[in-house]
């Protein structure tokens, strides 16, 4: 019997923890003779691009676990029925009994097709989905490994930006990853310590984006404070669902047919120009937080631990020959419990930020969201602290 | 006697350390009755916008010291003779005997004018320049507070990006701050652990940028490795000295008459489009590291300590009535010594990356530069670690 590990979709800061958790637990359980890794996910399977992880020293694995990114590489391939049949052919040839695939909801869908096809031909294959996505959009989960570390990065980023724009006033527009769900953009709110702290406006895909309302919002904050810090999801769209980025730029698509929203500063630059020209504000900065959000090597310790645990759980379920998707459920404030649900329950579904976490204005999150997020971002998440000192009376009179 | 503290130019992650160092040491020396802070630097002086720092509790100051950004706010104003005369008028009215100004070479120039004017009217004013700049371009210094923390951020950023692009191959172009000097862009080289690690190409303003050579360089790396990671200074320019960003975009200027290079993703997007269209590579990512580089709350411990020390030294020189610019000199590997040089020695000069640190190709730095940089970025700078495992023989033959 051989267990195969692989990884699909975008990397996170804690992928390697899940990988190492699965390897070490599988060794401990002793129900698998060999442990393989597929390079570049399903693409590596059809190419028989496997490495043998059975005897990699534990000391090496522990060093590997601390690194961001996907050590087994990844793929954007989204297999159809024919592609899956090719995968099965290779898995059978290599006598794979369990396939543990780390990824988001596309990954879960791939496993669902595979396990259905395997059952149809009487091939005893256990498929376990190990959850990860910085988008935090998997259903059946309180949150998803990878998200806490990215939220930590975004929170810290806006904490610094808040200080920066206080030093040299202006308008700052920061574009954050997130196509359909605003979870990561919402994390920018962690930067606030006092009422006037930024971000002052948060735009998520859960609400339609209207340019005139946006400009009015920015002007109101700027008039009041002399500065305005804005966090915007890359996926913000108009009332028809068309991405704002799409309204002025021809866009590339990825192999899934998704329009690519990351990898360009175009949205931030476009919004900056609008503010500059419509509101006549001189100092307007457009930053795009970019790929650092998912790969910066400063993971949340909570995220590291949970990513390790979902990997370990996947190995456990595989040893019990149970197919499904590993889940994280919150118990109290703050502990978690792990479980397993049907692949079909998770596959292809998207969980957006619920209304209960969004303020009435639609441009902020509320205290309930912050209570949800705070335990995730790490025990050493930084707190801002402002200097307070009395003003000195003026002496010279103009 | 009153000591005045202020801050000019862009913030850094460790400005507050210099501020707190100066306050606490001035208290200890006991040669000043009161300690004031000017809000928004020289702009705050002419507006008599002062806060009284004399009695802020040490516990509060220690919390403030850990924060990025300028707690006393900042300014881009670059005073001329008339502006400086107005400053002196206010300083005299408030009986300021020492002015400690934290900033880069523009700040040093302002102090030079002020001390000359003060001497001319017989006003006994001590002016001490406290060095800071993420650009690392002050002459008479081994390095400058603020740079080590920004270099740490850039090094960590490219370490994560290296993993990310290994997972999902393509071309990645990351634009780094730096107008005339490539010190910060060069720090991207810290991400390399093995030969094939990125960044594979580093473009600094110390070398002319030629588009055709750039495209040829990228193609050569991409053909060899299937991926290519590029770090580019925002200030790269053609042989005539014209910024590349300038060649396709009308640019804003700041009050110093400098063309603004930051706050837009335009350069990264422009270079990405060139690679996409000229080389026909599909996955090309353009990221601009942006304002996080100078404000991300993860300072180097070495930088924190040295920023504190230059603040303390400034207070010491002020108590000795010595005007000048505080310097950092390296002693061995690794210790530093602090000194004081004439304001005119530092004012308005720029130190670029020397040829001795740049590889012959002009698109990389050498081991001598890494030996220079490594001690600065912090005792806990992360090291990448790659998984190594034997390949599994293929079974199926196509």
pLDDT in tens, A158-168: 999 999 999 99
Residue A27 touches chain B, beta carbons under 8 Å: no
**C-alpha–C-alpha distance, residues B295 and B173, integer Å:** 21
Q: Chain A: nearest CA to B274, how far in angstroms?
A: 13
SS percent in chain A: helix, strand, coil, step 5: 40, 20, 40
A 10 A CB-CB count for A250 gives: 6
Q: What integer is the mean pLDDT of A1-18?
A: 96
pLDDT of residue B262: 84
Using a pLDDT cut of 90, give the percent of chain B over it: 90
User: Are A167 and B11 an interchain contact pair (Cβ–Cβ within 8 Å)?
Assistant: yes
SS3 of residue A197 by DSSP: coil
Q: Quote the CA–CA distance of B343 and B69 in Å, as a whole number.
A: 25
Rounded Cα distance, B157 and B376, in Å: 16
What six digits make up the tokens of B383?
A: 């090291």
Give the integer Cα–Cα distance in Å for B175 and B266.
Answer: 10
Tell me which of B134, B295, B377 to substitute to probe the interface with A (most A C-beta atoms closer than 10 Å).
B295
B322 by DSSP, 3-state: which? coil
Q: Which of B89, B266, B287 sits opposite A290 (nearest CB)?
A: B287
Q: How far apart are the C-alpha atoms of A221 and B143, rounded to whole Å?
A: 39
Per the CB < 8 A criterion, the answer to whether B63 and A387 are in contact is no
- Report yes or no: A171 and A281 within 8 Å, Cβ to Cβ: yes
Average pLDDT for residues A7-34, to the nearest whole number? Answer: 96
pLDDT confidence of residue B294: 96
- What DSSP state is assigned to residue B194? S
| Whole-number pLDDT of residue A260 | 75
- Across the interface, of A16, A56, A265, the residue whose CB is closest to B288 is A265
How high is the pLDDT of residue A386?
Answer: 87
Which residues touch B335 (CB under 8 Å, ≥6 apart)? Answer: none
- Cβ within 8 Å of residue A294, ≥6 positions away: A10, A11, A12, A13, A68, A134, A146, A150, A177, B160, B164
Measured CA to CA in angstroms, residue A172 lies from A14, A54, A114, A226, A281 at distances of: 30, 50, 46, 12, 11
| Mean of all residue pLDDT scores within chain A | 95
ipTM rounded to 2 decimals: 0.96
Nearest to B328 by CA among B168, B84, B133: B133
Total number of residues shown for chain B = 398
| Structure confidence at residue A250 (pLDDT) | 66
> Which of A365-373's residues contact partners 24+ apart within 8 Å by CB, and which partners?
A365/A186, A365/A189, A365/A202, A369/A186, A369/A189, A370/A189, A370/A190, A371/A333, A373/A151, A373/A186, A373/A187, A373/A190
A256, pLDDT greater than 70: no
Residue A9 pLDDT: 92
Distance CA A327, CA A340 (A): 6
Q: Which pLDDT does position B397 carry in this prediction?
A: 85
Query: Which token pair is A310?
Result: 């979902």
Helices first, then strands: H and E counts in chain B = 13, 11
Neighboring chain B residues of A63 at a CB cutoff of 8 Å: 385
B20 vs B65: CA distance, rounded Å: 6
Mutate one of B12, B191, B297 to test the A interface: name it (highest A CB count within 10 A).
Answer: B297
**Residue A258: its pLDDT value, please?**
65
Burial environment of residue B353 by CB neighbours within 10 A (0 to 12, 13 to 18, 19 or more): buried
CA B76 to chain centre: 16
Alpha carbons B394 and B226: distance in angstroms, whole number: 22
**CA distances, A196 to each of A186, A229, A272 (Å):** 17, 10, 21
Q: Test A262 with B272 for CB contact under 8 angstroms.
A: no
> CA nearest B69: which of B49, B26, B40, B109?
B40
> B102 has which bridge partners?
B7, B130
Average of per-residue pLDDT values in chain B: 95
Q: Give which of B18, B161, B163 to mutate to test A binding, by max A Cβ within 10 Å.
A: B163
pLDDT > 70: percent of chain A: 97
Distance from C-alpha of A59 to C-alpha of A64, rounded to nearest angstrom: 9
Does the pLDDT at position A398 exceed 90?
Answer: no
Question: pLDDT at residue A254 above 70?
Answer: no
Q: Following CA atoms B177, B178, B182, B186 in sequence, which dihedral angle do they give, to the nearest 10 degrees? A: -10
> Hey, are the CB atoms on A386 and B288 less than 8 Å from each other?
no
CA distance B259 to A318: 60
Quick one: pLDDT band at residue A117, thresholds 50, 70, 90? Answer: very high
User: Do A168 and B384 make contact, defined as CB atoms within 8 angstroms?
Assistant: no
Contact yes or no for B102/B15 (Cβ under 8 A): yes
Q: Which of residues 369-388 of A touch B (CB under 8 A)?
A: 382, 384-388
Specify the length of chain A in residues.
398
Could you say which residues of chain B have pLDDT below 70?
Answer: 250-259, 398
Q: Is A135 a catalytic residue?
A: yes
Question: CA nearest B166 in A: which residue?
Answer: A73
Residue B101: count other Cβ atoms within 10 Å of its Cβ.
Answer: 24
Give chain A's end-to-end CA distance (angstroms, integer). 87
Average pLDDT over residues A85-93: 97
Q: Does B33 touch chain A (CB under 8 A)?
A: no
pLDDT at B254: 60
* CB spacing of A66 vs B388 below 8 angstroms: no
Q: How many CB atoms lie within 10 A of CB B195?
A: 6
B 99-158 → A contacts, CB under 8 A: 156-157
pLDDT at B318: 98
Q: Tokens at residue A352, please?
A: 């957006």
Burial class from Cβ neighbours inside 10 Å (0-12, 13-18, 19+) for residue A246 reads: middle
Contacts of A297 in chain B (CB under 8 A): 156, 159-160, 382, 384
**What whole-number distance in Å separates Cα of residue B184 and Cα of residue B92?**
40
Looking at residues A27-31, what average pLDDT do you find?
96
Residue B256 pLDDT: 56
Among the listed residues A183, A130, A177, A172, the one whose alpha carbon sits nearest the alpha carbon of residue A295: A177
Q: What is the DSSP string of A58-125?
A: HHHHHHHHTS-S-TT--------HHHHHHHHHHHHHTTEEEEEEEESHHHHHHHHHHHHHHHHTT---
List the one residue out of B308, B346, B343 whose CA is nearest residue B126: B343
| Edge-to-edge order in the sheet of strand B201-203 | B201-203, B228-233, B171-176, B284-288
How large is the average pLDDT for residues A359-371?
97
> Could you tell me which residues come within 8 angstroms of residue B179 by beta carbon, excluding any fewer than 6 positions away?
B135, B205, B233, B234, B235, B258, B261
Residue A162: half-sphere exposure toward Cβ, Cα within 13 Å: 27
**DSSP 8-state code for residue A199:** P
CA distance linking residue A340 with residue A309, whole number of Å? 13
Are B94 and B44 spatial neighbours (Cβ–Cβ below 8 Å)?
no
Confidence of residue A255 (pLDDT cuts 50, 70, 90): low
pLDDT attached to residue B253: 67
Cα–Cα distance measured from residue A302 to residue A181, given in angstroms and rounded to the nearest whole number: 22
DSSP string, A304-315: HHHHHHHHHHHH
Query: B253 in contact with A at a CB cutoff of 8 Å?
Result: no
Q: Do B93 and A396 touch (CB under 8 A)?
A: yes
Q: Helix A15-29 to helix A301-319 angle, to the nearest 10 degrees?
A: 40
Element (H, E) at B89: helix B81-93
Give mean pLDDT, residues A135-163: 98
Of the candidates A52, A74, A167, which has its C-beta nearest B70's C-beta?
Answer: A167
Model confidence pLDDT, tens digit, residues A205-248: 999 999 999 999 999 999 999 999 999 999 999 999 999 988 87
């Amino acid at each position: 019997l051989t267990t195969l590990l692989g990884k699909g979709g975008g990397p996170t800061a804690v992928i390697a923890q899940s990988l190492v958790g699965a390897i070490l637990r599988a060794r401990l359980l002793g129900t698998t003779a060999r442990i393989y890794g597929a390079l570049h996910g399903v693409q590596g399977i059809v190419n028989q691009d496997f490495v043998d992880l059975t005897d990699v020293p534990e000391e090496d694995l522990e060093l590997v676990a601390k690194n961001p990114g996907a050590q087994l590489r990844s793929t954007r391939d989204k297999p159809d029925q024919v592609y899956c049949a090719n995968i099965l052919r290779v898995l059978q040839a290599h006598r794979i009994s369990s396939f543990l695939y780390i990824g988001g909801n596309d990954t879960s869908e791939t496993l669902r097709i595979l396990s259905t096809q395997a059952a149809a031909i009487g091939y005893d294959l256990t498929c376990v989905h190990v959850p990860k996505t910085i988008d935090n959009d998997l259903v059946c989960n309180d949150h998803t490994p990878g998200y806490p570390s990215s939220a930590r990065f975004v929170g810290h980023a806006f904490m610094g930006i808040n200080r920066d724009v206080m030093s040299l006033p202006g308008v700052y527009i920061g574009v954050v990853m997130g196509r359909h769900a605003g979870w990561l953009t919402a994390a920018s709110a962690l930067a606030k310590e006092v009422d006037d702290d930024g971000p002052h406006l948060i735009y998520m895909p859960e609400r339609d984006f209207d340019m005139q309302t946006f400009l009015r919002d920015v002007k109101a904050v700027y008039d009041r404070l002399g500065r305005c810090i804005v966090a915007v999801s890359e996926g913000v769209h108009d009332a028809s669902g068309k991405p704002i980025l799409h309204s002025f730029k021809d866009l590339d698509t990825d192999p899934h047919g998704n329009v690519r929203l990351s990898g360009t500063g175009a949205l931030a630059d476009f919004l900056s120009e609008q503010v500059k020209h419509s509101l006549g504000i001189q100092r307007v900065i457009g930053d795009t937080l970019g790929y650092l959000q998912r790969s910066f090597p400063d993971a949340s310790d909570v995220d590291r631990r949970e990513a390790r645990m979902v990997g370990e759980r996947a190995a456990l379920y595989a040893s019990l020959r149970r197919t499904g998707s590993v889940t994280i459920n919150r118990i109290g404030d703050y502990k978690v419990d792990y479980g397993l649900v049907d692949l079909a329950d998770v596959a292809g579904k998207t969980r957006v930020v619920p209304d209960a976490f969004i303020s009435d204005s639609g441009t902020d999150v509320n205290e309930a969201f912050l209570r949800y997020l705070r335990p995730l971002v790490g025990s050493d998440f930084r707190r801002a602290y402002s200097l307070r000192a009395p003003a000195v009376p003026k002496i010279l009179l103009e």
